[in-house]
Each structure stands twice: as C-alpha cells, then as structure tokens.
Amino acid sequence: MSTDRDAGEHRDTSFRLCSAHPIDSDVWVSKPPKRDRSARILTIEDEPAVRSGIVAYLEDSGYEMLQASDGLSGIALFRSEHPDAVLCDLRLPGADGLEVLSIITKESPETPVIIVSGANLVGDAIQALKRGAWDYVTKPIIEMGILDSTLCRVLERAELMEQNRYYREHLETLNRDLRRAVEQLQEDEKAGRHLQGQLMPPPRRQWGEYVFRSRLYPSTFLSGDFVDYFYIDERHLGFYMADVSGHGAASAFITVMLTTLIGQYRHSSHEEADPTILHPDRTLARLNRDLCRQRLDKYLTIFYGVIDQQNHSLVCSNGGQYPYPIICNQTEVRSLAYPNRPVGLFEDAEFPRHELELPSEFRLWLFSDGLLEIMPERTLKEKYATLQALVADPRMDIDTLAAHMRLPSTSPPPDDITFFQVQRTQ
C-alpha cells in the first residue's frame, strides 16, 4: 500500500494528473463532490515481477495502489475497497480475467476496467472490450507511460460519467420540484380564476331600458382585462372596462385590487354621501392616486361611465383606453375619441369629464386592445376603421362579432380580449 506523495504534487481535481475538461460552472448551481485523495487503482496480476513493476511505477506517479495475485482475491478486494479503476490480467488462477471483468461490470459498471493481456491474446482482449472493458494494454509493458496515459483517459471518462450522472439526478430532482411547483401554481390559478369569476358581473344584465353585455377571452388562465356594471342609485348606473398592463397572475391581482377600490368608492357613496363615484373624472383621479401610492409597477387603461336614467345622458372619462369606445344608432357612428394618460403612472394626472346625450336607441361598444392584435389590417387606423364599420351594422351583437373574429379559437389569443356593449332599447 502506498503513502501519499508530497502535498505539493496533489491537485484539486478528482484524479491526479488527469486534466479532464470541466463542465461550465455557470450552467450548474453546484458540482458533484470531488474526491479528496489520489485515484485508487487495483491491479490483479499473478506474475509478481509484472505486478511489482506496475505498482512501483503507478505509486511513483501518485496513484494509491491495491494489489491482488489471483482473480478471487481481486474480486474480494474490489468489493471491500471500491477502487477507482482496475487493471486486470486475462490469465489468472482461480477466476480468469474475463470472469473477473463480468463480475465487476455487473456490480459496478461505472468503474473502469483495463485488461492487461499478452501480445498473443489480442483476440481475447477484443472480446473483453465487447464484455465491458474500457481499454486494454499488452504485455510486456515496455513503456509504462502508455499505461499511465490509458489510466488517465479512462479516469477522465469515468469522472465525466460521474458528473453527468450527478447532473442528471440533479436535473431530475429539479424537474420533480418544478412539477410540484407547477401543480401548486395551477391550484393557485384555479383559485384565482374562481375569485375573478366571482367578481365579474354576469354576461348580461338589464336595468330599465339599459342592457349591459360582456365577453372575455383570456390569453392565460387568469386575465388582466376586467369589466363591471353596477347600480349606483335609483337614477344612476355605473360601468367600466379596464385593461391592466401585461397579463397573467400579476395583472389579475390588479383587477382584484381595482374592484376592491371601486367597491370602496361605491360604499362611500351610500354610507357617507361621498359623490365621487357619480363623477368619472374624480373617480379616475382618486383611483390613480390610490394605485400610484401602492408602487405596484403596474398600470391600467380604463373607461368609466355613469348613465343618468332620468335625463338619458352619459358622463364619462377615459384613462388611456384604446380602441376608443364607439357609439352608434340607426343613422350615425361616432367615436368617443378622448385620449388621455393611463391610470397608475403619474400621481398628478387629470382625467377630463365628457358628457353626451343618449338617443332613444343606441349601442355603445368597448374593446380591449388585445382585439387589435388578431386583426389582419396593417395599421391601427385601418383596424379601428374596420371595427367602426362592423359595429355600424344594427344586427351586430357580441356573439356575431366574436365569430367574425374567429373567437374562441383552438389556442389562446396573444393578449386578453374583451367585448363590452351597452344598449338602450325602447
């Protein structure tokens, strides 16, 4: 048994003197554990002179050597000491080299076995390679450097195999963790979708002469689009359509916050006689301040309107919503082109108030900008003109328009798409 060489000759690689090509450390968070010693080599050789020559040379080269003089003792030593590589003669007493090879490769296929054969036994050496030997050298070993380079080569290969196995196991662990995380996220998304569904109004609701309809096609399981229409008092109805920047869970969270804030404004109207909810310009200004103070790194576009059922008028403000709403009746199609800043970006933003009389019959259309992404026209101007032409048809309803846009499709749209219509009928 050899002793360690001078500490100055040890390297911090797995095996001494073998310059294996390391895998890029930036790719993996951690590396497999390295051995803190020189490679341990078991030589099984029945000729004492040959065995002592191999042991002396490899010990001098820095290897830690184990030695056996026959096949059975070699197998026993292999099982007890677990060497890093095995040098095995083909002709051995007790159990020959092929039998030893078969046992080692079966019990430890990752351990390199180098067959040492006589020059006249090359055919047997080739047979050994087919049975799992990693390499072979022939006796007499005139140049020991050949043995050293062969050992270095198989040890490099063994180290790479060990690293690959470690990384594969590590990746499988990560994949299992990822699957569990995805399953948890899916459960969370289901809960979020259920919550959003509870917050959304029914697809159709009517108060007096006014009918509200909506349809939402999310790009993901959760949506950044949101609509609502609600009773304020016996005279006034409120409605809005909002589109939060981005989509998915983060944007859906903002829609929940939006409905909470609007709910607070409505509550203040009933309980504290706060008239904010009746004034779209004040409502958007207050909403803008509330969102800016949260510093959520999100903003939204929103069109908010209040219908006076007594004098049949609409008061509204636009917080960056585009496409602009379109109102039409039997004779006219009008764009409510009120450009303005989004809500949640600038705390001092103002949102002008607009008022218009409502004809005895009309249809007010709102769309989220996700619809523009699936339209074939080249420019926004062309897309908007197409929308105006489509909704001008008095027979056009949400279902017909959605079918014209080929919604729903077999795959989710690239962005959330919302249709919203307010209609007055006699």
Residue type, 334: R
Amino acid in the structure at residue 270: H
Longest dimension (CA), the chain: 115
CATH number, span 200-424:
3.60.40.10
Which residue, 216, 197, 198, 205, is CA-closest to 420?
A: 216
What pLDDT is attached to residue 185? 52
Q: What does DSSP say about strands 85-89 and 40-44: parallel, antiparallel, or unpaired?
A: parallel
At residue 226's C-alpha, the angle toward residues 191 and 371, to 5°, is 115
The three-state (H, E, C) secondary structure of the chain, written as one string: CCCCCCHHHCCCCCCCCCCCCCCCCCCCCCCCCCCCCCCEEEEECCCHHHHHHHHHHHHHCCCEEEEECCHHHHHHHHHHHCCCEEEEECCCCCCCHHHHHHHHHHHCCCCCEEEEEEHHHHHHHHHHHHCCCCEEEEECCCCHHHHHHHHHHHHHHHHHHHHHHHHHHHHHHHHHHHHHHHHHHHHHHHHHHHHHHHHCCCCEEEECCEEEEEEEECCCCCCCEEEEEEECCCCEEEEEEEEECCCCHHHHHHHHHHHHHHHHHHHHHHHCCCHHHHCHHHHHHHHHHHHHHHCCCCCEEEEEEEEECCCCEEEEEEECCCCCCEEECCCCEEECCCCCCCECCCCCCCCCCEEEECCCCEEEEEECCHHHHHCCCCCHHHHHHHHHHHHCCCCCCHHHHHHHCCCCCCCCCCCCEEEEEEEECC
Burial tier of 258 (Cβ tally within 10 Å: 0-12, 13-18, 19+): buried
pLDDT of the residue at 161: 86
Whole-angstrom distance, CA of residue 43 vs CA of residue 283: 86
Question: Would you give per-residue pLDDT tens digits along the chain (426 residues)?
Answer: 433 333 333 333 333 334 333 333 333 344 444 444 478 999 999 899 889 999 999 999 899 999 999 999 999 999 999 999 999 988 888 888 889 999 999 999 999 999 888 766 667 778 888 889 998 888 888 788 888 889 999 999 988 888 888 877 877 776 677 677 656 655 666 666 666 677 789 999 999 999 999 999 888 767 788 999 999 999 999 999 999 987 667 788 888 889 889 999 998 888 888 999 999 999 999 999 999 988 878 899 999 999 999 999 999 999 999 999 999 998 899 999 999 999 999 988 999 999 999 999 999 999 999 999 999 999 999 999 999 999 999 999 999 999 999 998 878 888 889 999 999 987
Report phi then psi at 109, rounded to 5. -65, -15
Query: Whole-prediction pTM value?
Result: 0.58
Please, how many CA atoms are within 13 Å of residue 228, restricted to the half-sphere of its CB?
A: 23
Neighbours of 284 (CB within 10 A): 27
What letter represents residue 47's amino acid? E
What is the CATH topology of the domain spanning 7-172?
A: Rossmann fold (3.40.50)
Domain boundaries, the chain: 7-172, 200-424
What confidence score (pLDDT) does residue 324 get? 97
d(CA 133, CA 86): 10
Q: Which amino acid makes up residue 319?
A: G
Please count the other Cβ atoms lying within 10 Å of the Cβ belonging to residue 177.
Answer: 10
CA distance 44 to 55: 10
CB-based contacts of 48, cutoff 8 Å, min separation 6: 69
Do 296 and 344 meet the contact criterion of CB atoms below 8 Å apart?
yes
Model pLDDT, residue 300 = 94
What is the reported pLDDT for 36?
40
Output the CA angle 45-46-47, nearest 5 degrees.
95
